[in-house]
């Protein structure tokens, strides 16, 4: 298998893994509910908000943070490659 095809499949695997984490978080912690909030009883303004627990929000966010850190470390480690691999330098400085 050639390298670009392997890269694309790897990216799709990471994407499916994140979707699985998000779905599993929803099933484990319960799906969020839509709630109405009426802050001032005399006001005619009513807010509809998503009642999502903090830990259910932080699980997928933590996964994204881990991916960002791994990409930054990978870009930093590959910064001293030969001149024909200069795109790795741009990855570490973005």
61-91 tens-digit pLDDT: 888 888 889 888 877 777 776 666 666 556 5
Letter string b/e over residues 35-65, b meaning 16 or more CB atoms within 10 A of that residue's CB? eeeeeeeeeeeeeeeeeeeeebeeebeebee
Give the position of tokens 């994204």: 64
43-54 tens-digit pLDDT: 788 888 888 778
4-39 tens-digit pLDDT: 677 778 778 888 887 887 788 777 777 778 888 877
pLDDT given at position 1: 47
* Residue 28, number of CB atoms within 10 A of its CB: 10
Both tokens of 94, joined, read 């973005």
Q: Is the pLDDT of residue 40 over 70?
A: yes
What band does 94 get if pLDDT is binned at 50, 70 and 90? low
């Amino acid at each position: 298998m050639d390298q670009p095809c392997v890269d694309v499949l790897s990216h799709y695997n990471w994407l499916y893994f994140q979707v699985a984490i998000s779905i599993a978080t929803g099933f484990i912690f319960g799906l969020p509910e839509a709630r109405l909030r009426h802050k001032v009883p005399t006001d005619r303004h009513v807010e509809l908000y998503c009642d999502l627990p903090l830990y259910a929000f932080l699980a997928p966010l933590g996964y994204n943070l881990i991916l960002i850190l791994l990409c930054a470390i990978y870009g930093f480690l590959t910064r001293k490659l030969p001149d024909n691999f200069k795109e790795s330098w741009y990855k570490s400085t973005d």
